[in-house]
Structure 1
Amino acid sequence: MTVQSEKRSWLWVPTAYFAEGGPYMVVSLVSAILFKSLGMENDDIALWTGLMMLPWSIKPLWAPFIDLFRTKRQWILATQLLMALLFAGMAALIVRESLSAVLIGFFFLLAFASATHDVAVDGFYLIALDKHTQALLAGIRGTFYRIASVSVQGGLVMLAGLIEKHGGSLRSGWAYSLLLAAGAMLALFLWHCLVLPRPADDGPVGGGDRFLTDFLSPFVSFFRMRGIVWILLFLLFFRLAEAQLGKIAVLFLQDKPEAGGLGLGLDTIGILYGTVGPVALIAGGILGGVAAAYWGFGKTVWPLVCAINLPDIVYVYLAVERPASLWAVGGCIAVEQFGYGLGYTAILLVMVALAENSGRYKTSHFAIMTGITILGMMLVGILSGYAERHLGYVTFFWYVMVCTIPSFLVVYPVSRLIPADFGRKNR
């Protein structure tokens, strides 16, 4: 790659990964806040927002078709334009009526478009950049993905709340927020029309007679991995508690005090999830990576497992005491998010280590493991709404603490498959 091409990559890599992170956060988190504010019950919110994660869990199944038809550049531009139109359509729907099956359908379409966009961008990154530039920009892509998450978690929710607070209706607040998202995605589409390169290798890959064999080979290879039963149990159950807490925590913050919640407004939730939470999350992620690089997998895995699970107890405190101080609420959210950022390093290390030793299909195996993890979280997340409805917030958060136990149990057999010094710098 020439110096000019390397410089040009700085024009599109940050914005492409910003376009990845934003829609994902809208579907995974903002949709729950929106549905709750418009009157949907917790169990229905958990059901629909859980099902919306399906496209990301099964995207390895349709990823090969992106290679077979058209170029990845065309897929990126087409999905970005589609997402801009979907955001605009959702804004129009909310103005007309607060909740409808059509609005939920638009969120599902956004999820499929976003997951397809993720596959195309990740593939384009590998084709358009040489290995040196890929390594150079690895941190940048992750940073801008997180910046998009922070912008969406805080910005869109806060804007909706501020418009409602200053005389507008709730529906108009959400409509303006979604129109802002539509404008941002349209701007990204137009920008990428100008700056995305046209790599010579970016073209349809003919499937031929061996397409089915080539498509199935990574899956067959994955299920033949040593210790596959323990690997599957780890992927499905390590995040059992987190998958349920993540669905209900934001609804608890938003719910009325008479229903057991904290009764926070959208503007306050936007501040907490746009500043305190992400800062703590990123700090925990950095510390977890540094610890793993210094001491290796063997010495850090159990502290990391504790970090992702034990801080969940703060929600028991919030549900029992229901403090009026935003400092107390923000502090609890910071503790839980810091622990999550720290502990997420554990699952990432396990998947990277397993993929690293899995032969020629490393990339496919990592994608399969990611899909299985999201599928497990989706199924459990769907049930979390029904559990909360029957248990109430206090008992539900105690139940979440019980659900942390499988996380510890599934780590031990998988940890025996990974070298203790994996990840350490001198390795």
Structure 2
Amino acid sequence: MVVLLFLGFSAGLPFLLVFSTLNARLADVGVETATIGFFSWLGITYSIKVFWAPVVDRLSLPLLDRWLGKRRSWMLLAQAGIATGLVLMARTDATVAPVTMALFGLLVAFSSATQDVAIDAYRIEIAPERLQAALAAAYIFGYRVALLVAGAGALYLAEFWSWQVSYEVMALLVGIGVVTVLISREPSVNHHGVAADLSERVEAEVQRYGHLSPRLARLAGWFSAAVAGPFVDFFHRYRRFSILILLLVSVYRICDLSMGVMANPFYLNFMEFTKTEVADITKIFGFFMTILGSAIGGVLVVRYGVRRILLTGAVLTALSNLLFALIAQYPPNLTSLALVVSADNLSGGMANVALIAWLSSMTSAAFTATQYALFSSLMTLPGKFIGGFSGLLVEGFGYAEFFVISAFMGIPAIVLCLWAIRRGPELDAMAPQAEAPASDTR
């Protein structure tokens, strides 16, 4: 649990440094709002990690694999990429070389997404199933602490020193993850079928490609077993509901993610709060509100079922965006900002808990990691892609109108949640048999 606590910190640290903290930096140094919106596309890297996850899962790195083992070697390589990218970002002037800044940010985002894949595999393999909940709790807490450091901490450093110092300090903090990797042990036993040795499955698939050369047959067999298998399993299980389920996953966070891109420019440029005030209210205070929202969401899911709270979270998230439109009509006021941030983080924490619980209930025990990677990619990709155009909307209509538009983007999720509630019994019957009796998914 201690190892997963620090690995969670290592995973959470880079995320905001290429997302909202980077947006705050760009806004602070005078980068155009439309350009800031396009920078949010760096976050798409996290949404497409499913494409190279099988490579991280199966490929052994030369030299490092002998020294550290497969999981730790990939984590160390990814951490080296994160630290290098952060140092380069620290020493780049975004107003002079925005493309260069974007490329260095891409290095950080790609390395961070790769680290996430390796850590997820490590967590699954390092302990038996009965300990997985405890490990996940430790990981999430470390991740949240890292978000606080990379959010409020980075803003404080930028306020009292400079953005270069801020990003250089963040690069040094990557060392926490490096030390954790070096002193931890490599998993010796794999407890989940998805990360197990696929040799038998591959050999069975190879027989189907006997007309190819041995090398191509093995490659085709590996792809069919390790990559295509999880997707075939999902579509076979949910049949005619598969597309609607994936559509709900993909639109559920559009409202939240599209608004989040312009949050820091709104605080700093439009409302003219200081970086310290933004850090105090949105990062530190917001951190505790998110934790509270997550706790409330967890209790409500147990009491009322995951789909009902999924709907509640979708409605509250859309309404909280309208609150931002409301405060945009009035002079800056810290109390009003705190109230709106409270509503936003409480609803966001509740919605995320319900979404994670729902996605977990639909994953097959044989393909947990890959199917969850599919879901996690889909739930962020559309929102981050649309968020790239948020700067253009702000420039064309204004912040208040943008927040209203982002609120209306939540309507498809609300409609699909209502559909999921209505089809609940049928969806439960299609759920993995090992998990269906364990939870109420009304």
Instruction: Give the TM bin, normalised by the shorter chain.
Output: 0.7 to 0.9
The corresponding residue for 2:141 is 143
Question: 5+ unaligned residues in a row in structure 1: which ranges?
Answer: 1-9, 164-172, 256-260
The corresponding residue for 1:6 is none
Letter in 2 for 1:228: S
Question: Shift in Å at residue 293 of structure 1?
Answer: 1.0
The corresponding residue for 2:128 is 130
The corresponding residue for 2:175 is 186
Question: Shift in Å at residue 414 of structure 1?
Answer: 2.5
Alignment of structure 1 residues 22-33 onto 2, 5 Å:
22-33=13-24
Letter in 2 for 1:307: L
Match of 1:391 among 397, 408, 427: 397
Range that drifts further, 410-419 or 124-133: 410-419
Range that drifts further, 98-107 or 33-42: 98-107
Question: Shift in Å at residue 185 of structure 1?
Answer: 0.7
The corresponding residue for 2:205 is none
**Pair 66,264 (structure 1): closer, same or farther in 2 beyond 3 Å:** same
Question: 5+ unaligned residues in a row in structure 2: which ranges?
Answer: 61-69, 191-195, 203-217, 429-435
Match of 2:47 among 57, 62, 75: 57
* SS state at 2:54 partner: helix
Q: Indicate whether 1:66 and 2:80 are aligned.
A: no
Q: Is the 8 A contact 2:301 2:309 kept in 1?
A: yes
Cα distance in 2 for residues equivalent to 1:385 and 1:26: 19
**Pair 64,251 (structure 1): closer, same or farther in 2 beyond 3 Å:** same
**Pair 425,352 (structure 1): closer, same or farther in 2 beyond 3 Å:** closer
* SS state at 2:31 partner: coil
Q: Indicate whether 1:212 and 2:223 are aligned.
A: yes
Question: Shift in Å at residue 391 of structure 1?
Answer: 0.8
**Pair 187,379 (structure 1): closer, same or farther in 2 beyond 3 Å:** closer
Letter in 2 for 1:14: L
Cα distance in 1 for residues equivalent to 2:23 and 2:404: 22
Question: Shift in Å at residue 359 of structure 1?
Answer: 6.5
Total equivalences in the alignment: 398
Cα distance in 2 for residues equivalent to 1:334 and 1:115: 29
Q: Is the 8 A contact 1:20 1:114 kept in 2?
A: yes
**Pair 152,359 (structure 1): closer, same or farther in 2 beyond 3 Å:** closer
**Pair 249,423 (structure 1): closer, same or farther in 2 beyond 3 Å:** farther
Range that drifts further, 231-240 or 117-126: 231-240
Question: Shift in Å at residue 155 of structure 1?
Answer: 0.3
The corresponding residue for 1:280 is 289
The corresponding residue for 2:326 is 317
Cα distance in 1 for residues equivalent to 2:188 and 2:179: 22
The corresponding residue for 1:79 is 78
Letter in 2 for 1:366: Y
The corresponding residue for 1:177 is 166
The corresponding residue for 1:119 is 117
**Pair 254,181 (structure 1): closer, same or farther in 2 beyond 3 Å:** same
**Pair 217,426 (structure 1): closer, same or farther in 2 beyond 3 Å:** closer
Alignment of structure 1 residues 98-113 onto 2, 5 Å:
99-113=97-111
Letter in 1 for 2:92: L
**Pair 397,11 (structure 1): closer, same or farther in 2 beyond 3 Å:** closer
Range that drifts further, 265-274 or 313-322: 265-274
Question: Shift in Å at residue 424 of structure 1?
Answer: 8.7
The corresponding residue for 1:5 is none
Match of 1:200 among 188, 196, 212: 188
TM-score by length of 1: 0.86
For 1:13-58, what per-residue CA distance to the aligned partner results, in whole angstroms no more than 9, with x for missing partners?
A: 1111100011112122111111111222222111121x21222111
Q: Indicate whether 1:228 and 2:242 are aligned.
A: yes
**Pair 137,349 (structure 1): closer, same or farther in 2 beyond 3 Å:** closer
Cα distance in 2 for residues equivalent to 1:204 and 1:22: 31
Q: Is the 8 A contact 1:292 1:424 kept in 2?
A: no
Cα distance in 2 for residues equivalent to 1:30 and 1:275: 14
The corresponding residue for 2:206 is none
Question: Shift in Å at residue 363 of structure 1?
Answer: 3.1
Question: Shift in Å at residue 381 of structure 1?
Answer: 0.9
**Pair 16,140 (structure 1): closer, same or farther in 2 beyond 3 Å:** same
Letter in 2 for 1:57: S
Letter in 1 for 2:31: M
Q: Is the 8 A contact 1:244 1:381 kept in 2?
A: yes
Range that drifts further, 141-150 or 407-416: 407-416
Q: Percent identity?
A: 22
For 1:294-330, what per-residue CA distance to the aligned partner results, in whole angstroms no more than 9, with x for missing partners?
A: 222355343333222212221112110133x312212
The corresponding residue for 2:38 is 47
Q: Is the 8 A contact 2:71 2:186 kept in 1?
A: no
* SS state at 1:88 partner: helix
Cα distance in 1 for residues equivalent to 2:27 and 2:308: 42
For 1:85-114, what per-residue CA distance to the aligned partner results, in whole angstroms no more than 9, with x for missing partners?
A: 2222222224x9764322211100000000
Cα distance in 1 for residues equivalent to 2:302 and 2:342: 24
Q: Is the 8 A contact 1:243 1:381 kept in 2?
A: yes
* SS state at 1:137 partner: helix
TM-score by length of 2: 0.83
* Structure 1 runs (4+) greater than 6 angstroms displaced: 202-207, 420-427
Q: Is the 8 A contact 1:22 1:149 kept in 2?
A: yes
Question: Shift in Å at residue 425 of structure 1?
Answer: 6.7
Q: Is the 8 A contact 2:24 2:264 kept in 1?
A: yes
Q: Is the 8 A contact 1:287 1:342 kept in 2?
A: yes
Letter in 1 for 2:316: A
Question: Shift in Å at residue 236 of structure 1?
Answer: 2.4
Cα distance in 1 for residues equivalent to 2:438 and 2:188: 37
The corresponding residue for 2:410 is 404
